[in-house]
Amino acid sequence: MTVTLTDIAISDNRLILDGQEVDSVSGETFERTSPAHDVVVARYAKGGADDVARGVTAARRAFDAGPWPRRAGVERSRVLRRVADLIRRDRDQLARIEALESGKPITQAYDEVDASAELWDYAATLARHSYGDAHNDLGPDVLAMVVNEPLGVVSIITPWNFPLLIVSQKLPFALAVGCTAVVKPSELTPGTTVHLARLIIEAGADEGVVNVVTGSGGVGSAMSAHPDVDMISFTGSTEVGRKVAAAGGQLLKRIELELGGKNPQIICADSDLDAAADAVVFGVYFNAGECCNSGSRVLVQRSIADDFVAEVVNRARRVPVGDPLDPATKVGAIVSDEQLAVIERYVSEGRSGDAELLLGGDRLASDNGRFYQPTVFANVRPEMSIAREEIFGPVLSVLTFETLDEAVGIANSTMYGLSAGIWTRDINAALSASRALRAGTVWVNRWMDGYPELPFGGYNASGEGRELGRQAIGSFTQTKTIQLQVGDRTTRWVPAAHHLGGLS
């Protein structure tokens, strides 16, 4: 296979600070090469700690003295709605950037762009619903208000697998309530985030409200340790998430973490096996398995295991792998040489254990780019690394079980807890497993659907905090209690006993 790219125009991108496009302090740049085509597609300013400081200063000023947090919710809502419209206007351009930088199929890149626009729309709605409570039954002499105030400057750090979608799970909700932000996209896929920042400015956000510093992990670490940042919202690996939490925790910042997963799908013998097989293949090969919600661990009831696995292999064999820009492609390129090496290491561990390799297990022969064959391991034991650790590649590990209790026990036996699924026609089995699975999302007879209205996040080492849903605005606000004296103050020095609660 040879993957060629024609009509390439290399885009030049600078940092976005205080409403302007500017060079980094060092003047250095870096390039992004398409992982499918081995062709340079974009150049970016290489930010450093000095640039983070510039971004934080701009965001701080915009928050402390600028109009954004002081605008009415309806005005911020209009800006967010305009961003959604502009994302839709630039749909082709955004999808192409995403496909070229990440290696994902163009059809999936379009889905990502459309879903991102929906998130901006949803946040625009929430921007008109940030309100608190009034307490009018505390006694005749007091009226109290509980108000939600924007937290301040938010650092947003994102990974390379769904760059536009993930920044859109955070930034519009932060902006909705009046926060300002400094954003650091992955150095592998900064393109759509930089473009988004331009759209936000075009939509009418005030200067300094959104700043983007492109560069390596050092930029993220400078953001996590900056004293003027109030909150860090991080999506990425559990390993880096721990570092971000340590640095930010030391400074007592609010920290929200969306981390890795090793998500189990439980397939019971009584389920719709055709739909389940489809979900298994989609679940593990979508985005080449480079997906936090990858259903990379499938637990099949023993009585149907041989037939079910044979059907999965049969379907996996037919998944088209190739040029991300070809609309027929379902699995594109692996994002980088480093990620390819990770996949190869896990597959070699699987081969050297006593798991059975039924499909794939190697790179796809290609004159250029980085492609990996859809891979299936059967007879995987729960203690093997390919059953416990996040591979982030198109590699499926199949385990078997006898009883549902046993399946739930295996499902819960990794350090992760992002998502899980169960396929069964037995409503009691579905409900009891849904309650027992230690995961932030449980899908019953479906897999990987997401909605802006539904909270998303992980248990255990898969993260801390939740994104999306109506609660999303709570992630970016803090609560203030205001008490008003009604009439003359009659108690002096020591308040009545029932007034003491909460004053310790």
Rounded CA separation 377/357 (Å): 5
In whole angstroms, how close is the CB of 415 to ligand NAD at the nearest point? 12
* Residues 233-262 contacting ligand NAD, CB under 6 A: 235-237, 240, 243-244, 258-261
Which residue, among 136, 148, 147, 132, has the nearest Cα to 486 in the 3D structure? 136
Cβ 257 to ligand NAD, closest distance in Å? Answer: 8
Rounded to the nearest 10°, the torsion over CA 372, 378, 382, 383 is -70
CB of 169 to ligand NAD, least distance (A): 7
DSSP per-residue letters across 133-154 = EEE--S-TTEEEEEEEEE--EE
User: Rounded distance, CA 294 to CA 262, Å?
Assistant: 7
**Catalytic one among 98, 112, 187, 258?**
258
Residues 6+ positions from 54 with CB-CB distance below 8 Å: 15, 17, 18, 25, 211
Q: What six digits make up the tokens of 136?
A: 């009018």
Query: Where are the extended beta strands (E) located within 96-219?
Result: 133-135, 142-150, 153-157, 180-184, 210-212
* Least gap, CB of 409 to ligand NAD (angstroms): 23
Footprint (CB under 6 A) of ligand NAD, residues 151-210: 157-162, 166, 184, 186-187
Among 191, 220, 283, 360, binds ligand NAD (CB under 6 A): 220
Tokens 């050092």 found at: 218
When the beta carbons of 73 and 458 are compared against ligand NAD, the nearer one is 458
Q: How far is the CB of 239 from ligand NAD (least distance, A)?
A: 7
**Residue matched to tokens 């059809």:** 107
* CB 168 within 8 Å of CB 116: yes
Nearest distance in Å: CB 216, ligand NAD = 6
**Whether 53 contacts 226, CB under 8 Å:** yes
Place of tokens 């109030």: 230
- Residue 336: CB atoms within 10 A of its CB come to 17
Could you say which of 374, 463, 465, 469 contacts ligand NAD (CB under 6 A)?
Answer: 463
How many positions of this chain bind ligand NAD (CB under 6 A)? Answer: 31
Measured from the CB atom, the residue of 47 and 360 that comes closer to ligand NAD is 47
* Residue 149 is among the residues annotated as catalytic for this protein: no
Identified binder of ligand NAD from the candidate list 418, 422, 437, 468, rule CB under 6 A = 418
Shortest CB 157 distance to ligand NAD, Å: 5
- Based on the shown chain and the rule CB under 6 A, indicate whether residue 295 belongs to the binding site for ligand NAD: no
3-state secondary structure of 343: helix
Lookup: tokens for 123: 């946040």
* CA of residue 52 relative to chain centroid, distance: 22
Q: Which is nearer to ligand NAD, 259 or 410 (by Cβ)? A: 259
Closer residue to ligand NAD (CB): 151 or 212: 212
Nearer to ligand NAD, 61 or 388 (CB): 388
Helix axis angle for 73-89 and 191-202, nearest 10°, is: 130
Question: Looking only at residues 335 through 394 of this chain, which bind ligand NAD when binding is defined by CB under 6 A?
Answer: 390, 392
Touching ligand NAD, residues 422-461 (CB under 6 A)? 458
- Taking the C-alpha atoms of residue 121 and residue 50, their distance in angstroms, rounded to an integer, is 34
Question: Which entry of 179, 268, 291, 292 is annotated as an active-site residue?
Answer: 292
Answer for which of 58, 59, 292, 404 binds ligand NAD (CB under 6 A) is 292
453 is catalytic: no
- Give the catalytic positions in this structure: 258, 292
In the complex, the residues that contact ligand NAD under the rule CB under 6 A are 157-162, 166, 184, 186-187, 216-217, 220-221, 224, 235-237, 240, 243-244, 258-261, 292, 390, 392, 418, 458, 463
